[in-house]
Amino acid sequence: MKAAIIGASGYSGEELVRLLSRHPDVELAAVTSRSLVGKKVADIMPALRHLVGELAFTVSDPAELAQRADLDVFFLALPHGVATEFANPLFTAGKIVIDLSADFRLNSASVYESYYGHPHPAPQLLKAAPYVIPELAGDKWKEANLIACPGCYPTSIQIPLVPLLRAGLVKPSGIVINSYSGVSGAGRKVAEDFIYCERNESIQGYGMPKHRHLSEIEEQLEKAAFADCLVQFNPHLAPMSRGIATTIVAKSNGASLQSVYDCWSQCYQTSPFVSVLPAGTYPDTKHVTGTNRADISAVYDTRTDNFVITSAIDNLLKGASGQAVQILNIKFGFQETAGLS
């Protein structure tokens, strides 16, 4: 199994290099970047010096990559919009593509257009690309050759919430979600807002009330609930490198806290990457950083009849690259945790 990472210059690209270079069943055979061609990976990602040997960045050319007989699977770690330029020819050439961008996460081209401000560049592929949080996506997606890897905020939200909506334990209306992301959530973006002194000692909201991730959150929650599901989603940046902490307020649909925990237990009992914590123990981003785990927990407020649900993931692992490798593992029949513990 030979893998390529396309557009590996960002933080999730770097995590993919880390994971795949240690993966027992995969050979990391190519790492591409338009801006870094010819440079050694060890020089660009010094944290990985001991893992990458003499590996160097190669050219990112979609047509050429589609012809490479020696590459089996392609991870796209590209900006939205750009990913389609690669996904399209690679998919057509019969390659397997795991896309970490937002390009194939939505079912609806019109929702895409309303959130991204331009028509979807390849709407015919939207149907071909299942949206896969492995713990929630069932089995059919394993047939697909183009797979959409969910966003970081959406993963932190869906893992606790989707089972409860499917089971009808919480009401689909009136859900309020607050999320706090480490600064790597903005990628390796060089802008004044992201320099150290601007983010240190700072918590600040942004992108309210209609962050782009909201489109994929609502589409998925509505599928789970078989009902309309308008959520209030409030993203914030927090002064840490990694991690997302999400706090969800959802009205009980006549369900008890015990039934929430029973639902989670049943859904996640064999999942190696979801930890259900007892009520009153709160997930902590620090405890999941560097892992592919999602920690989830809930309390019930008798006064308001609300559940308050908290979750924590590493935005670059379970929220991006770790989940992408987990998808690879399942699709190819490797151990689900291969390269991820």
In the range 42-71, which residues lie near a second copy by CB under 8 A? Answer: 46-47, 49-51
Contacts with a second copy, 297-336, as mask; x by CB under 8 A: --xxx-xx-x-x-x-x------------------------
Contact between 39 and a second copy by CB under 8 A: the answer reads: no
Count, residues in the chain: 341
Considering the candidates 152, 229, 263, 267, report the single residue annotated as catalytic. 152
In whole angstroms, the minimum distance from the beta carbon of 198 to a second copy comes to 8
Among positions 53, 79, 119, 205, the unique one binding a second copy when judged by CB under 8 A: 205
Half-sphere exposure of 276 (CA within 13 A, CB side): 20
Counting beta carbons within 10 angstroms of the beta carbon of residue 69, is it exposed (0 to 12), middle (13 to 18) or buried (19 or more)?
A: exposed
CA atoms of 331 and 321, how far apart (whole Å): 15
- Residue among 310, 266, 275 at smallest CA distance from 295: 275
Kind and range of the H or E element at 314?
none
Query: Does the annotation mark 267 as catalytic?
Result: no
Contacts with a second copy, 219-238, as mask; x by CB under 8 A: -----------xxx-x-x-x
Judged by CB, which is closer to a second copy: 247, or 253?
247
Q: What angle do CA 117, 122, 124 make, to 5 degrees?
A: 125
Contact between 197 and a second copy by CB under 8 A: the answer reads: yes
**Total number of residues that touch a second copy (CB under 8 A):** 74
CA atoms of 17 and 6, how far apart (whole Å): 11
The window from 57-65, 126-134, 141-149, 170-178 that contacts a second copy (CB under 8 A) reads 170-178
> Which residues are designated catalytic?
152
